[in-house]
C-alpha cells in the first residue's frame, strides 16, 4: 500500500484504466475459464449420448461457443455447473436428473479445483474412472441411482478431502478396497444396492453414517473394521450375508444411534450393559437372521432405546420382564421365534404409541384378539420339537 504514494493520482488512474482495457480485450478473445477445464467439460458432455439430452435440461444449455464460467449466464451454461468466484475454474458439476445416458469421461479428473461431482438419478454406465483419485479437492462424490458397474478402484483412497461418497443404486461389484480407511475426511458412505462381495475392510475413522444395504457382503463383522469409529451414528447393513456372532464391542461403539442388520445370517448377539457416557442408541433391527439364545435383556440399559426388532430369529426362553418397565421402548417386534411365557403386560395397556408383535412364538398366553398377538402362536408340535420334544416350560 505504502508504495502507491510514490505515483501521482493521475498516473494511478491512467494505469488502472489501461489495465482494465487490457483485461477487457483479453476477455473478448480468451475465456476466463481455464482451457484445461473447458476441454474436460467438453469431453464430459461428449461422452453422453446426445439423444438423451433433453432440450430443457442443464446439459443442453452447455454451449461451448461461450465461456462456461463467465457471468451473467443468460443463455448458456444455465445450470449443472459451478465456478470459483474469479470464474477461472470449475468447482462443481451437479447435474439435473434428466435421464442422461453415457459414460463418465476419465477427463473430469483434469478439473483440478472440482469439489462436487453429483450425477444422481441418471443412466450413466461403465466404470467409475480410477483417474478421479487425482481430484484432491473433491468433497462430494455422489452418483447414486445410475448404472455404473465394475469395481470401486482402490485409488479412491487418495481422495483426502472427500466427506461424502454415495455410490448407491448401481451395479458395482467386487470386493471393497482396503484403501477405504485412507478417506480421513469421510463422514457419509453409502454403497447400498450394489453387488459388492467379500467382507468389510477397515473403515475410515471419522465416519458418521455407514450404509451398505442390499449387497452380497459376507463374513463376520470384525472389531478391526470398526475400531476407532467414535462418531459412527448410523449402521445400515441389512440384506447382506453377514454371519457369525455380533460381538459385544459392537453395541459399545460410543455414538451409535441406529442399527439395521436385518436380513443377514447372524447366529448370535452379545450385548453388555453400556459402559457410561452419553448413550444414544435409539433403534436396533436384527430381524430375519439366525440368532439363537435368549432375547438380550441388556438392551434394557440403553436409556434412549425406542425400537427393537429381533423378529424371525431362533430365540428361546422368556421375554425379559424389564422390557415391560422400559418407558422409552415403543416398538418391540419379537414375532417368529420360539419364545415362551407371557409377553410383558405393559404392552397391552392400550397405549396407541406402542406397536410391535409377539405372534408366531410359543407363548403360553398371548390374546389373539390383540393386534400384538395376531394371528397366532406356533403349532404346539413345532414348539415341542424346538424344545427337544418336551413341552416348553412357562
Ligand atoms: C451455440 O451457440 C452458438 C452461438 O450463439 C449458436 O450459433 C449455436 O447454434 C449454439 N449451438 C447449440 C447446439 O445450441
Ligand atoms: C431394516 O431393513 C429392512 C430391510 O432393508 C427394512 O425392511 C426395515 O424396515 C428396516 N428396519 C427399520 C427399523 O427401519
Ligand atoms: C427379509 O427376509 C424376509 C424373509 O426371508 C423376506 O420376506 C423379506 O422380503 C426380506 N426383506 C428384504 C428387504 O429383502
Ligand 3 centroid to residue 288 C-alpha, Å: 7
Residues 169, 142: contact at Cβ < 8 Å? no
Residue 19 lies in a domain: no
- Where the chain has pLDDT below 50, the residues are 1-29, 394
Query: Rounded to whole angstroms, how far apart are CA atoms 248 and 275?
Result: 11
Query: Rounded to whole angstroms, how far apart are CA atoms 362 and 261?
Result: 25
Ligand nearest, relative to CA of residue 330: 2
For residue 262, give the ligand 3 atom closest to its CA. 1
The whole domain housing 267 covers: 226-394
Per-residue model confidence (pLDDT) at position 63: 94
For residue 263, give the ligand 3 atom closest to its CA. 1
Number of domains in the chain: 1
C-alpha cell at 235: 449402521
Residues 51, 65: contact at Cβ < 8 Å? no
Which of 99, 94, 74, 75 has the alpha carbon at shortest distance from 83?
94
Cβ < 6 Å from ligand 2: which residues? Answer: 213, 238-239, 260, 262-263, 283, 285, 307
Distance of CA 275 to the CA centre of its chain: 28
Residue nearest to atom 4 of ligand 3 (CA): 288
Ligand 3 centroid to residue 166 C-alpha, Å: 24
Residue 97 lies in a domain: no
Per-residue model confidence (pLDDT) at position 394: 47
Cβ < 6 Å from ligand 1: which residues? Answer: 63, 65
Residue 345 lies in a domain: yes
Residue nearest to atom 7 of ligand 2 (CA): 262
Ligand 1 centroid to residue 59 C-alpha, Å: 13
Question: In the chain, how many H helices and how many E strands?
Answer: 5, 24
DSSP track, 325-393:
H-TT--EEE--SSEEES---GGGGS--TT-EEE--SS--S---TTSTTT-S-PPPHHHHHHHTTTSPPP
- Where b means 16+ CB within 10 Å and e means fewer, 284-306 reads bbbbbbebbeebbebbbebeebb
Per-residue model confidence (pLDDT) at position 294: 97
Residue 248 lies in a domain: yes
Residue 311 lies in a domain: yes
Residue nearest to atom 7 of ligand 1 (CA): 65
Ligand 1 centroid to residue 65 C-alpha, Å: 7
Per-residue model confidence (pLDDT) at position 351: 87
Query: What is the pTM (predicted TM-score) of this model?
Result: 0.90
Assign residue 348 the CATH number of its domain. Answer: 3.80.10.10
Residue 230 lies in a domain: yes
For residue 288, give the ligand 3 atom closest to its CA. 2
Residue 171 lies in a domain: no
Pairing of strands 331-333, 307-309: parallel
Per-residue model confidence (pLDDT) at position 329: 96
Ligand nearest, relative to CA of residue 77: 1
Residue 231 lies in a domain: yes
302 to 91, 210, 212, 231, 344: CA distances (angstroms): 44, 21, 25, 17, 18
Other Cβ atoms less than 10 A from the Cβ of 213: the count is 19
Per-residue model confidence (pLDDT) at position 363: 96
Amino acid at each position: 500500500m505504502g508504495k502507491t504514494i510514490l505515483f501521482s493520482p493521475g498516473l494511478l488512474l491512467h494505469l488502472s484504466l489501461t489495465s482494465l482495457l487490457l483485461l477487457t480485450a483479453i476477455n473478448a478473445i480468451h475465456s476466463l475459464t481455464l482451457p484445461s477445464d473447458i476441454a474436460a467439460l467438453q469431453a464430459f458432455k461428449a461422452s453422453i449420448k446426445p439423444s438423451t439430452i433433453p432440450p430443457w435440461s442443464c446439459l443442453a444449455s452447455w454451449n461451448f461457443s461461450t465461456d462456461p464460467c463467465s457471468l451473467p449466464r443468460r443463455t448458456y451454461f444455465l445450470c449443472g455447473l459451478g465456478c470459483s468466484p474469479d470464474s477461472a475454474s470449475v468447482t462443481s458439476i451437479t447435474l439435473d436428473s434428466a435421464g442422461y445416458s453415457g459414460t463418465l469421461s476419465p477427463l473430469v479428473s483434469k478439473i483440478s479445483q472440482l469439489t462436487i461431482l453429483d450425477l444422481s438419478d441418471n443412466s450413466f454406465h461403465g466404470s467409475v474412472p480410477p483417474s478421479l483419485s487425482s481430484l484432491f479437492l473433491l468433497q462430494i462424490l455422489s452418483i447414486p441411482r445410475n448404472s455404473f458397474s465394475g469395481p470401486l478402484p482402490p485409488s479412491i483412497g487418495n481422495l483426502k478431502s472427500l466427506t461424502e461418497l454415495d455410490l448407491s443404486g448401481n451395479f458395482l461389484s467386487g470386493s471393497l478396497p482396503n484403501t477405504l480407511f485412507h478417506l480421513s475426511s469421510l463422514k457419509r458412505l453409502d454403497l447400498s444396492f450394489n453387488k459388492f462381495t467379500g467382507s468389510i475392510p477397515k473403515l475410515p475413522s471419522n465416519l458418521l453414517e455407514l450404509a451398505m444395504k442390499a449387497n452380497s457382503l459376507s463374513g463376520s463383522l470384525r472389531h478391526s473394521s470398526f475400531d476407532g469409529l467414535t462418531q459412527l451414528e448410523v449402521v445400515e447393513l441389512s440384506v447382506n450375508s453377514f454371519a457369525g456372532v455380533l460381538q459385544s464391542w459392537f453395541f459399545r461403539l460410543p455414538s451409535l444411534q441406529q442399527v439395521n442388520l436385518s436380513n443377514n445370517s447372524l447366529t448370535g448377539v452379545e450385548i453388555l450393559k453400556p459402559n457410561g457416557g452419553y448413550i444414544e442408541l435409539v433403534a436396533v433391527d436384527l430381524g430375519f437372521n439366525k440368532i439363537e439364545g435368549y432375547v438380550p435383556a441388556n438392551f434394557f440399559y440403553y436409556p434412549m432405546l425406542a425400537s427393537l426388532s429381533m423378529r424371525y430369529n431362533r430365540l428361546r426362553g422368556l421375554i425379559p420382564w424389564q422390557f415391560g418397565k422400559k418407558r422409552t421402548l415403543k416398538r418391540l417386534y419379537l414375532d417368529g421365534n420360539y419364545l415362551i411365557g407371557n409377553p410383558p403386560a405393559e404392552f397391552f395397556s392400550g397405549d396407541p404409541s406402542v406397536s410391535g408383535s409377539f405372534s408366531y412364538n410359543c407363548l403360553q398366553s398371548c390374546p389373539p384378539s390383540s393386534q400384538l398377538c395376531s394371528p397366532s402362536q406356533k403349532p404346539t408340535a413345532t414348539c415341542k420339537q424346538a424344545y427337544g420334544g418336551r413341552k416348553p416350560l412357562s
